[in-house]
Amino acid sequence: MKKTQLFLFHFAGGNVYSFNTITPLLKGLEAIPLELPGRGRRIQERLLKDFDAAAMDLYNQVVPKLSGAPFLIYGHSMGAYLGLRVTNMLERAGRRPGYLIVSGNPGPGVPRQRPGKRYLLGKAEFIEELRVLGGVPEEVFADPELFGFFEPILRADFQVAEVEGLEGEPPVAAPLYALMGSEEENVDRLANWGRFTRLGFRSEILEGNHFFIHKHPARMAEILRACAEQVGSWGV
């Protein structure tokens, strides 16, 4: 019997290793982390700065990997936006995911409280934004060469995430589970994600900042496994 598949879409600056705190706990699932060009195993490829191009890139990675078993899409932050679009693309192609799980993101149409597009900020302001978000070790900021390597990747990903054009995105047919950290900006708007599903909607707030998923790997894995079990029982 084929395992239920779980496709993982990373956050800005992430790669296939971004969910390594969670994937070892996903026993019984085929966890498939994906990555956009310009980092990790795809370091030689050109960075994408366009949301539609990034979504198409992920879609083109998912489709050939589908095994015929039920499958889910999970994305964090930028990956949540991309997960919504790719789920719609898959549904239009007759390949409906059984569940969409999103985290670290209040959903399309919720403006940031801090003004300005992050990818356009000057270097000092950009570093301050990254410190607010968390997730980037201080030694990266302290090493100009190391930060110079990561900065273009982060700026490209922020451009993808901040010029996404999803406000009019149709709701998906899959049920949707949304999570955020208790210290995140706009955590009080998490229920906004309910507008983007035609099926069931659930949400949960876990203690922590934008990278709360690394603080709660056991709970994240539990949620992902529970969603997968539900999908498997449907035989989607």
Q: Where are the alpha helices (DSSP H) in 93-173?
A: 123-133, 138-142, 144-162
Question: Does 136 score more than 90 pLDDT?
Answer: no
pLDDT band at residue 134 under the 50/70/90 scheme: confident
Measure the CA angle with vertex 33, ends 186 and 65; round to 5°: 125
Q: What is the DSSP letter of 108?
A: T
pTM recorded for the entire structure: 0.95
Environment class of 141 (CB within 10 Å of its CB; exposed 0-12, middle 13-18, buried 19+): middle
Total domains present in the chain: 1
Average pLDDT, the chain: 94
pLDDT band at residue 236 under the 50/70/90 scheme: very low
Question: Does 230 score more than 60 pLDDT?
Answer: yes
CATH code of the domain containing 56? 3.40.50.1820
Cα–Cα distance measured from residue 8 to residue 58, given in angstroms and rounded to the nearest whole number: 10
Domain residues for the domain of 123 are 5-234
Percent of the chain exceeding pLDDT 70 equals 97
Mean pLDDT of 165-189: 95
- Written as six digits, the tokens of 83 are 């997960």
Per-residue pLDDT, 190: 98
